[in-house]
Structure 1
Amino acid sequence: MTERTSPSSPATPSDRTVLLRGGEVHSPADPFATAMVVERGHVAWVGSEGAADAFAGGVDEVLDLDGALVTPAFTDAHVHTTSTGLALTGLDLSGARTLDEALALVRAHAAARPTGEVLLGGGWDASRWPEQRHPSRAELDSAAGGRPLYLPRVDVHSAVVSTALLDSVPGITGLSGYAADEPLTGAAHHAVRAAAHGAIGTAQRTAAQRAALAHAASLGIGTVHECAGPEISDEADLTGLLKLAAEEPGPRVFGYWAEQVANAKDARRIRELGAVGAAGDLFVDGSLGSHTACLHQPYADAPHTGAAHLDAAAIAAHVAACTEAGLQAGFHAIGDAALSAVADGVRAAADRIGLPRVRAARHRVEHAEMLTPATLTAFADLGLTASVQPAFDAAWGGEEGMYAQRLGVDRARTLNQYAAMLKAGIPLALGSDSPVTPLDPWGTVRAAAFHRTPAHRVSVRAAFTAHTRGGWRAVGRDDAGTLVPGAPADYAIWHTGDLVVQAPDDRVARWSTDPRSGTPGLPDLTPGTELPVCLRTVVAGHTVFVRPNA
């Protein structure tokens, strides 16, 4: 890919006019487009190489694509930015293959960090280790050298901690979710997380946020939805992130603050934080991995049904108050009982203030893993957006995965029903829940298209749309996430192999030159093929990432 720029002009500010040519442009406006013009931060034109000659003399910059693919930039609809950055710059246990290996990584990290610093890490998953157990507190104390250490499980709904951190939280043993030498859940987990994150200085937090956004940009992600809240982070973390994103080139950030709203005053405070909604991780339940997702029937490997944090009445009150204030509401809900509570609560709100108003607000639900036929129908009728993470299925699905361990094989097969959601008319927005699973947009699309349960698979095109345009629709924007004239110039340029389209019977077929297809091509994501490599990411006409030597 080569670039020709006017020597008297700065490189690609948003008010410049840029011509991209000589590649493949993924645009519904022209499925055979090979060129695109960007003007003042928006797409001005897409079309053929021959027609592009008419623009060549009147632009500030010409970018020769050398056959590369141009697509809309991805939107990751569920991210914890600071935690992602801390994982990138700190202790990441996701690659540990055994308990001993995880403890060795903790020991090495403790030796490398300044003495007075709280040690932070995460990503561990005991279900993948041959020992099939979490690290004990004594093991953590030894590995950390007696220092405060906070290690959330990969799902971030439970954590193991060292004695030094535990002792810094007054009254911890009396909080729900505390058990001696067991992972902390519920209120106990929230308390130690607040203590650990409260010890992070502003400089360390900003460095983590900057690292996370730079990494997202390097993967062709142009927008992230930050899912913040009082049980996840704090107000300074959210406002600091939004300030950083506004001041420095990088992905757009839409912030959500997960706090219950009772009246217009509460809604006003949410807006004053800069959040677009009182949504995200407003917990109705927990997670399957930590046995805290709320189920109708007990777990297969535990004699209980998980934990419920909000009932239908509380959900109804939040949705009604948000709707009346013109604010988007939303919830974290994974288990079937939690999702039933969401459906019942939103229905009650709709009965109170009117279904059309509730539908128009585009309230959202994060994860929505264990939908039943009844809740599928309810989600569609209520206009709820499902913000989902296909990498969860790739990581924990299948007949021997964590889902099957927790629920049994038959119930595990009902999880993450993406095909049924789309068939019912439920809008999908795809994301990662990073750092729970990594930022990896093409891997996310592949995971949805090649779901471990074949009945739940969707086409590559549908998954790609949900990971681009779907994320914009989830924040109430219908004018973005696609490369058509007038849309924001948020795009990524990719080195990739052959482009393909998906045939009606879900087989992958080679790109057709038949204009009747009217379908722009996408990369072949068949498992085993290499995923596309991002060469450049552009947000509102600003270049926010360029791969070296690209």
Structure 2
Amino acid sequence: MRIIECGGVWVGPGRPPLGPTRIYIAEGSIEEIEDAPEIRSDLFVVPAFVDAHCHFVWSGLETILVDLGGAASPRGLLDIVAREKDSERTGEVLRGFGFDESTWEDRRLPSLEELDGVSAGRPVILKRVCGHAALVNSRILEQLPGDAPGLDRSTGLIHEGVIFDLEKLFPPEPRLLRQACRNAVRMAQEAGVTSVFTYESYMTAKVLRDSKPGLRTSVCLYGREVLEDPRGSALKEASGLKFFLDGSIGAATAAMKVPYSDGTEVEPIMSEDEVMEALELSESLKLVPNFHAIGGRALELLDRVSGRFLASRGGRLTTGIRVEHAEELKACWPGSWDSEVHLFVMQPNFVSRWQMEGGLYQQKLGREAGRGLSPFRTLVDADFRIAFGSDGMPFGPLAGLSGATEHPDPEQRLTVDEALYAYTLEAASVCGFREVAGSLRPERTADLAVLSGNPYTTPWSELEVVGTIYKGKVVHEKVQVLQEL
């Protein structure tokens, strides 16, 4: 028997947080939760976090790739490549990730000639922070198909299209992927996350399975890959299929109803027939369809086609339909969305990172359109299920929960209770992790995150995860959180 002594506990929605508490743990489960008014502690316990939308292996790979986040200008990006041109840590291809030109004073991207000039003939792939745009040099261009969609050969810039094939065309070395899995597990444990719903290719799904990670995983495969090969070895273990209806706001490839500030208008990537085919494939395989849809045009398309599909099935589906991101949902609300069918998985970290006053979204879309995205309160008040995931930007919940409770539009803010629910118990339910989906109670699996303070009285930015318990065992500990009885 082991115990946690803490100053407070959130056990689930609809109940006020407990005060000083002693939690007894035995054989991987909660044995008893006991009031202990004599305890003096700042520690606060919540159910372990569930990341309902991430790219787990890729997030681990980011820790190995060349970090481009420090680039503050086109020259700065080129200088990083020049410094790394002889490094072997990313294998034959120099791979970098994380540049964000929206934060630069000079937002021009380096030219193809400039990138070739610093890469010394080595193949180079530099991905934008959103993952929906990349810069490549001539060594990569030489190996891409002549009709590669989304590629501008004059600049080396890729938007959508072939960007999703780069992993297959230029696969990371197996040693890098194995290390990525180990790094991702450690990163999750340090963030208080014990369960992840992750988007993977056939290749990375196999690596993840073989790594036997020390946390719960539910794998969603990319629908485009499954359409090409519906007998892939990872398919029988998958829980869903992912399809992209648009891109990202940062890359100006999200199919927004509101035009971008430069007048650009973007249409959805998929046609109505292709969305219907995706729904039919998912239903035939009994897998949950996951649709990446950020902009209002993409969301309208999904709403329209999924309504027709639902009607053709007599109003009954084998699974629900997951809508990922749904940032411009207010532009097509209420539509014909069905709370019994559509589940919304959203990213509060996008709000805290890009949607606040003067941020990227306002630069791209204008102030009013930018601040009105990610309508959390609209969905909650309409009794829709909403779960949170990080999308790895960055990985972990604390970076994003402030976006839910401090949304720039006060009418869209959630309470601390609602935000925690979306990142823990409801996320577990949406992702199929039933053993950790219920409220904290005796006999429940002991998956817990220990925070440094009380989120009801302390800003999220001042909190950290100081302990993570997975199935009753400590997997991350900055201070002692479990004591032997």
Question: What is the TM-score normalised by the length of structure 1?
Answer: 0.79
2:136–2:156 CA contact under 8 A, matched in 1: no
Among 68, 74, 80, the residue aligned to 1:93: 68
Q: State the Cα distance separating 1:331 from its structure 2 match.
A: 0.7
Distance 1:162 1:328 in 2: 37
Q: State the Cα distance separating 1:193 from its structure 2 match.
A: 4.4
Distance 2:246 2:6 in 1: 50
One-letter identity of the residue aligned with 2:199: C
Distance 1:262 1:211 in 2: 27
**Deviates most, 457-466 or 289-298:** 289-298
Partner residue in 2 for 1:82: 57
One-letter identity of the residue aligned with 1:79: C
2:371–2:409 CA contact under 8 A, matched in 1: yes
Larger relative CO (CA 8 A, sep 6+): 1 or 2?
2
Q: Secondary structure at the match of 2:195?
A: strand
Among 403, 410, 413, the residue aligned to 1:447: 403
**Deviates most, 445-454 or 98-107:** 98-107
Distance 1:442 1:407 in 2: 26
Partner residue in 2 for 1:295: 256
2:192–2:468 CA contact under 8 A, matched in 1: yes
Partner residue in 2 for 1:530: 462
Distance 1:421 1:217 in 2: 30
Partner residue in 2 for 1:418: 376
Residues 35-434 of structure 1 aligned to structure 2 (within 5 Å): 35-49=22-36, 67-113=42-88, 117-171=92-146, 174-179=147-152, 180-181=154-155, 183-196=157-170, 198=171, 200-228=172-200, 234-244=201-211, 247-249=212-214, 251-259=215-223, 266=230, 272-279=235-242, 282-296=243-257, 298-303=259-264, 305-323=265-283, 325-355=285-315, 357-358=316-317, 361-372=319-330, 374-434=332-392
Q: State the Cα distance separating 1:37 from its structure 2 match.
A: 2.2
Among 409, 421, 424, the residue aligned to 1:465: 421
Distance 1:255 1:423 in 2: 30
Partner residue in 2 for 1:26: 10
- Cα distance, 1:83–1:22 mapped onto 2, change above 3 Å: closer
Q: State the Cα distance separating 1:404 from its structure 2 match.
A: 2.2
Q: State the Cα distance separating 1:258 from its structure 2 match.
A: 2.3
Larger radius of gyration: 1
- Cα distance, 1:548–1:480 mapped onto 2, change above 3 Å: closer
Q: Secondary structure at the match of 2:274?
A: helix
| Structure 2 residues not aligned, in runs of 5+ | none
| Structure 1 residues not aligned, in runs of 5+ | 1-16, 52-63, 229-233, 500-521
Distance 1:102 1:128 in 2: 13
- Cα distance, 1:18–1:345 mapped onto 2, change above 3 Å: farther
1:286–1:307 CA contact under 8 A, matched in 2: no
- Cα distance, 1:161–1:273 mapped onto 2, change above 3 Å: farther
One-letter identity of the residue aligned with 2:210: K
Distance 2:314 2:277 in 1: 14
Partner residue in 2 for 1:542: 473
Q: State the Cα distance separating 1:216 from its structure 2 match.
A: 1.4
2:258–2:369 CA contact under 8 A, matched in 1: no
Cα offsets for 1:110-152 (capped at 9, x unmatched): 2433696211111111111111111222222233222111111
Distance 1:254 1:530 in 2: 31
Q: Secondary structure at the match of 1:150?
A: strand
Distance 1:95 1:261 in 2: 33
One-letter identity of the residue aligned with 1:386: F
Q: State the Cα distance separating 1:257 from its structure 2 match.
A: 0.8
Q: State the Cα distance separating 1:426 from its structure 2 match.
A: 1.7
Cα offsets for 1:427-465 (capped at 9, x unmatched): 11111111xx11231221111111122222111221111
Q: Secondary structure at the match of 1:378?
A: coil
- Cα distance, 1:273–1:91 mapped onto 2, change above 3 Å: farther
Q: State the Cα distance separating 1:361 from its structure 2 match.
A: 2.1
2:65–2:89 CA contact under 8 A, matched in 1: no
Q: State the Cα distance separating 1:389 from its structure 2 match.
A: 0.8
1:383–1:426 CA contact under 8 A, matched in 2: no
Q: Secondary structure at the match of 1:205?
A: helix
Q: Secondary structure at the match of 1:474?
A: helix
Distance 1:67 1:333 in 2: 40
Q: Secondary structure at the match of 1:96?
A: coil
Q: State the Cα distance separating 1:161 from its structure 2 match.
A: 0.8
The sequence identity of aligned pairs, in percent, is 26
1:429–1:474 CA contact under 8 A, matched in 2: yes
Distance 1:389 1:278 in 2: 19
One-letter identity of the residue aligned with 1:31: L
1:257–1:275 CA contact under 8 A, matched in 2: yes
Distance 1:65 1:238 in 2: 45
One-letter identity of the residue aligned with 1:530: E
Q: Secondary structure at the match of 2:297?
A: helix
2:223–2:278 CA contact under 8 A, matched in 1: no
